Structure 1
């Protein structure tokens, strides 16, 4: 079916008090696995390409983006394409022509005033292009001379009052909030600050996003969705599934040289991971 927009998926999820899963893709196998897993779960899904993934692909966005668009157009479920954690303005400006309906503009490591100015400029440009835009706010520095904390630094938490001002002044369509998750976690041991999430949901009038969800246990994810999270980002969980399956296959078949053999095993492991995560969100 034709590509849908991230904005419509997330807006609908927020209205229905549920969440849409957004998976970071790196290879064609990731793309195929995410779509197959979503089809198995009979649920819409967001394919995300991060700036780091573009850097890995020799700095070229179009090859992976075009593969994602082609796969999405043949999917049996709604699929949206999202450009994730963009810090480069040059990359941001490639989004509309590459099939993306949304971007996450990441200036969260900057001091608040600079973060706000950069995000406001990005939002103005994105909206002029018809793009939905997400941003991120960690913990603002300044108290006792402390620097700003990135949203996924240990101990970082988004302040609801500051978040309300940031959303109002920046004009973003969704906000990723710091409530205890962290990027690149390989164990599901994160404990979320559900009281803070409750206050954020009551204070903000835009959908809330949870980054770093691979390290969040099922029960915590379920509670986060019930508390107001409308978009759940997952990346590392797919890489864990793929790498683990390939390691097991190659250990059992040391003579293997045909990459199709072990990549297919890795891809199927990701399909199962995707379906399982979507199942958790669906039952939240």
Structure 2
């Protein structure tokens, strides 16, 4: 089917009081696994390529983006492409021609006024191109000009009143907020500040986005969706699944040299993880087909 617009998937999720799973992909195996897992769960999905992934791919966006777009067009479920954590304006401007319908512009490291100005400029440009745009706001820096902490450092929290002002002034379509999750967690032991999430949901009239979701157990993910999260970003969980499966395969087959053998089991492990997590985030509570646990 044709590529779906991210904004349409988010709007549908908000109407259904569910959330769209957005998976960060690095290799073609990631792309294939995310689509296969979403098809197994019979749910839409967002494929995300981050600026860090572009750097890993030797600074070239198009090879992976075009492969992801082609795979999405052959999917049996709606799939959208999202350019994630973009700091480079040059990369941002490649998004429309590469098949992306949305971007996350990341200026959260800057002091508030600079973050706002940069994000407003990015939003104006993105909207002129028909792109849906997400931004991120952790908390404002110190009194002496210190930069704000990373939104996912322990203890970082987004203030609801500041967030409401930021969204209104920046003109973005969604906001990623700091409520206790952390990027790159390999264990699912984190807990969110659900009271703060409730206040943010009440204060903002745009969809909320949860970053760093791999560290959250199922019950926390469900509570996050019930509390107002409409887009849930997942990356590390895929890498944990893939790497673990490959380690087991190579330990059992030390003679193996054909990468197709271990990439196959790595990809299949990611499929299981995707199917499970997409199902957790669905609004209807329908169980996933039995594929094991993530």
Offset at residue 130 of structure 1 (A) = 0.4
- How do residues 192-231 of structure 1 correspond to structure 2 at under 5 angstroms? 192-231=192-231
Offset at residue 103 of structure 1 (A) = 0.1
Distance 1:31 1:96 in 2: 19
The aligned counterpart of 2:255 is 255
Most deviating of 57-66 and 141-150 = 141-150
The aligned counterpart of 2:139 is 139
Distance 1:202 1:258 in 2: 53
CA offsets per residue over residues 197-220 of structure 1, 9 Å max, x none? 000000000000000000011111
TM-score, with normalisation over the residues of structure 2? 0.95
The aligned counterpart of 1:89 is 89
Distance 2:145 2:84 in 1: 31
TM-score, with normalisation over the residues of structure 1? 0.98
Distance 1:233 1:262 in 2: 26
Distance 1:145 1:9 in 2: 39
Instruction: Indicate the SS of the match to 1:168.
Output: helix
Distance 2:188 2:160 in 1: 26
Aligned residues: 284
Relative to 1, partners in 2 of residues 1:59 and 1:147: Cα closer, same or farther, differing over 3 Å? closer
Distance 1:258 1:277 in 2: 30
The aligned counterpart of 2:292 is none
Instruction: Indicate the SS of the match to 2:233.
Output: strand
* RMSD of equivalent CA atoms: 1.1
The reply to whether residue 65 of structure 1 matches residue 42 of structure 2 is no
- How do residues 9-158 of structure 1 correspond to structure 2 at under 5 angstroms? 9-143=9-143, 147-158=147-158
Offset at residue 15 of structure 1 (A) = 2.0
Distance 1:62 1:212 in 2: 25
The reply to whether residue 278 of structure 1 matches residue 278 of structure 2 is yes
Q: Is the 8 A contact 2:189 2:217 kept in 1?
A: yes
